[in-house]
Structure 1
Amino acid sequence: MTKIKICGLMTLDDIKAVNEAKPDLAGFIFAPGRHQINLEQALKMRKELDSSIKSVGVFVNASLDEMLKVINSGAVSMIQLHGNETPDTIKLLQDKNIPVIKVYKPDNLPTSTTADYLMIDSGSGNGKPIQWDKLRIKTDKPLIIAGALDTLNIEQAIKTTEPDFVDLSRGVETDGSKDPIKINKIVQLVHQL
């Protein structure tokens, strides 16, 4: 069974939707952008989030202190790195028993990573589709794919890349807001694959 992360959660209504759909991971974005939230918002949402759903903090070139503050608050239990973070930063997080997801672009895939999970995304959450059939992905780490995934292309992306996780944000939105119907539909679909 493929697992799924719903990312870019911003409101308590978003939390209600994921609590009903039961994805495996929920993402809170602390990096600048349309989905950015602050620690206070994240704590309120984590408090309401089903305890069986792990929360992931998404950062881009943040300081170690900033990430540790979020982890130590209890808002998230995993860190996703979308920037130019070094293996040293990854190790410092792992030394504190924090699972780390490191994101790479399709044209810059590493032969190995020290992170716990390898994610492939088209950019900094820019919603651009990836031609999955053109990629040759070799990794000994759990693979997460992202990049303009939705109900129309998710099955093909999963069949082509055989990921451990898929990550969606805009693909479960309507008019810029998370759509509970789309979230529920995609979670059920992915869990069947």
Structure 2
Amino acid sequence: MRVKVCGMTLPEQLEQLGGLGVTFAGFIFYPKSPRYVFKGLTTSQIRKENNINKVGVFVNASIEEVLHMVDECRLHMVQLHGDESPKYCEKIADYVSVVKAFRISENENIEWMVKNYMDVCDMFMFDTMGAGYGGTGVKFNWNMLKDATIGKPFFLSGGIEPGDEDRLNEFATLPIGKGLFAVDINSKFEISPGIKDMAKVKEFVTKLNSKY
């Protein structure tokens, strides 16, 4: 199962990810985030890292800014985590693969939520609804996805932590699990914001994939 580690800020930790079996590194280009990428990394350092797929996370940024960072950092994918419209997503998707993030609250109509984005995004991400745009470190009820017809590969995010490996593998066996493209981890694998506990990351990836 693919794993994305989001909120990377240290060059030495970024260099380690590929060797741990992680598929994606996430960089948060949102200045209000405690994991803002430029607190510890430069565009040059990100650009030079070639051993992992690089995902830029943006929140209501201008199209020009997003495309500039895609070029500067040689990003493979863009994750849009704000209130971006379908038209906005389409313009970005003409240039780079787009993951549109949706923040899920109780009793959400998933199919209605994603409907207008089906033709303009490559993938979706489902995260937990919070007060702001950042991650909450809290899980939403994954069962809300079970009966939804999503029709796109998706990332599962929101409070995923050490010990969730069996539950994630069980979710992957459900019909909806066929669309599970990757698992997104962040705050539950940190020493402090942006500083990852690499031993926890390694153990999680190993356990998650031990049945494959």
Shorter-chain TM-score bucket reads 0.7 to 0.9
The structural deviation recorded for 1:191 is 3.2
The structural deviation recorded for 1:88 is 1.0
The structural deviation recorded for 1:131 is 2.0
Query: Which residue is equivalent to 2:82?
Result: 83
The structural deviation recorded for 1:33 is 1.0
Query: Residues 23-102 of structure 1 correspond to what in structure 2 (within 5 A)?
Result: 23-31=22-30, 32-38=32-38, 41-47=41-47, 49=49, 51-96=50-95, 98-102=96-100
Query: Which residue is equivalent to 1:182?
Result: 200
Partner deviation per Cα, 1:57-111 (whole Å, 9 max, x = no partner): 0011010011011011134221000011011111111212x00000012235324
Of residues 97, 115, 120, the one that matches 2:126 is 120
The structural deviation recorded for 1:142 is 0.6
Range with greater deviation from structure 2 (124-133 or 75-84) = 124-133
Query: Residues 14-25 of structure 1 correspond to what in structure 2 (within 5 A)?
Result: 14-25=13-24
CA RMSD, Structure 1 to Structure 2 (Å): 2.2
Q: 5+ residue gaps in structure 2?
A: none
TM (norm. structure 1) is 0.88
Say if 2:10 and 2:40, in contact at 8 Å, map to a contact too: no
Say if 2:123 and 2:154, in contact at 8 Å, map to a contact too: yes
The structural deviation recorded for 1:47 is 4.3
Range with greater deviation from structure 2 (105-114 or 27-36) = 105-114
Please say if 1:13 is aligned against 2:12.
yes
In 1, Cα distance between the equivalents of 2:153 and 2:42? 26
**Number of aligned positions between the proteins:** 190
The structural deviation recorded for 1:133 is 2.6
Say if 2:138 and 2:159, in contact at 8 Å, map to a contact too: yes
Change in Cα spacing, 1:66 to 1:129, as seen in structure 2 (3 Å) is same
